[in-house]
Amino acid sequence: NEASSKWSEFYDMASRNASSFPVHSIEDDLIKLQIEILQDRGSSVLSPEKYNRLSTVLSTMSTIYSTGTVCKINNPSECLVLEPGLDAIMADSTDYHERLWAWEGWRADIGRMMRPLYEEYVELENEVAKLNNYSDYGDYWRANYEAKFPKGYEYKRDQLIEDVEKTFEQIKPLYQQLHAYVRHQLEQVYGPELISSTGCLPAHLLGDMWGRFWTNLYALTVPYPAKPNIDVTSAMVQKEWDAIKIFRTAEAFFISIGLAGMTENFWRNSMLTEPTDNRKVVCHPTAWDLGKNDYRIKMCAKVTMDDFLTAHHEMGHIEYDMAYSVQPYLLRSGANEGFH
């Protein structure tokens, strides 16, 4: 929190200084963009007390998310964290009730602890947004998609909602067919007493804790089992791949399309597998640009198709970070959140 407070104090001072510039009279588009970015005071617009409280709420939720456990009913001493632990059940188990235990347990135990903190977080972030002249935090988020230049490519944040709804309507017929197909396949596995032939898909059966990525349903839903398997997990295991091999393969892909290889410091300093020295770590995959040519990935990678894809995803962030390194600091983030 001390470092966060120092950063907030510095950024607030820089933002106030930037606000003294008449941005509308600046003709250089890139300079104008940087001044506009800096004039947004972000969370530093809060009082010091509320800013520190927001930092505490965020760090507490992160700790609960990464270290919270769900304990088995018939063996209370056996408790699992989300990663790695419950996520493996959600990825691999075909036991309906085990999956339901993991899904409900996470929400009942961890969700209950996080809920009051999350409600406070929403309240504070909405205050941040309004003090920065946005209607709410959702409006503040959508501003990330705005573009004021070049001419002919301007984009307003309110257009995003319309475009998302339009896109969903376009893909809805295909999604409904996919939904029905997956429902039928799940009915074959779990039986009609657990899966309605016309109803919704039980969220705890969809391959991960959030029902977001269906990659892990491939083995249950592959339409043509006799065709070559596109899930490379078994092939990687057979060839005795490890996490380093997975990340080296990701690096080779990016090099093959003309992008940079990883730095020596990347391989030296990244955490690509779960530590074996009993350290408690946050296994959720993330990519980091620590400045001065220091790029890292934090992940507890396993030899699976899902982690193979995640390794490419996280290394993609590093590629963006390395490409942005020649830009001024304020222009080193993605063009918008849809890119990076």
* Each residue's pLDDT tens digit, 274-326: 999 988 888 889 999 998 999 999 999 999 998 999 999 999 999 999 999 99
Would you say 97 is a known binding-site residue? Answer: no
Q: Which of 33-42, 101-110, 311-320 ranks highest by mean pLDDT?
A: 311-320
End-to-end CA distance of the chain: 27
- Strand 286-289 to 75-80 pairing: unpaired
pLDDT given at position 227: 87
Is 317 labeled as ligand-binding? yes
pLDDT of the residue at 262: 98
Q: How far apart are CA 284 and CA 297, in angstroms?
A: 10
φ, ψ of residue 79 to 5 degrees: the values are -120, 145
Packing angle of the helix pair 48-67, 112-131 (nearest 10 deg): 150
The rounded radius of gyration (Å) of the Cα atoms in the chain is: 23
CA distance linking residue 196 with residue 188, whole number of Å? 11
Q: 139-162 pLDDT, tens per residue?
A: 999 998 988 878 888 889 889 999
By CB atoms closer than 10 A (0-12, 13-18, 19+), residue 86 is buried
Write the DSSP string, 188-199: HHH-TTTS-SSS
Q: How far, in Å, CA of 315 to CA of 320, rounded? A: 9
Distance CA 131, CA 134 (A): 7
Cα–Cα distance measured from residue 288 to residue 72, given in angstroms and rounded to the nearest whole number: 35
| pLDDT for residue 1 | 63
Q: What does pTM read for this prediction?
A: 0.75
Rounded Cα distance, 245 and 252, in Å: 10
Is 96's pLDDT higher than 70? Answer: yes
Place of tokens 């972000």: 42
Residues 333-340: what's their mean pLDDT? 78
Determine contact, residues 301/247, Cβ cutoff 8 Å.
Answer: yes
Paired tokens of 301: 């990678």
Q: What are the residue ranges spanned by the domains of the chain?
A: 40-157, 233-331
Catalytic residue among 83, 125, 251, 314: 314
User: Encoding tokens for residue 325?
Assistant: 């390194």
Please report the pLDDT score of residue 45 as a whole number: 86
CB neighbour list of residue 25: distance below 8 Å, 6 or more residues apart? none
Handedness of CA 8, 9, 12, 18 (dihedral sign): negative
Residues 78-94, mean pLDDT to the nearest whole number = 88
Q: Name residue, tokens 């017929």.
A: 173
Is the distance from CB of 129 to CB of 141 less than 8 angstroms? Answer: no
Collapse the DSSP code of 113 into the 3-class scheme (helix H, G, I; strand E, B; otherwise coil) and give the result. Answer: helix
Q: Tell me the per-residue pLDDT of 170-228, one tens digit each, with 9 for 90 and over.
A: 999 999 999 999 999 999 999 999 999 999 999 999 988 998 888 888 888 888 888 88
* Rounded Cα–Cα distance for residues 207 and 302 (Å): 16
Annotated catalytic residue 162 = no
Residue 146 · residue 157 · CB < 8 Å: yes
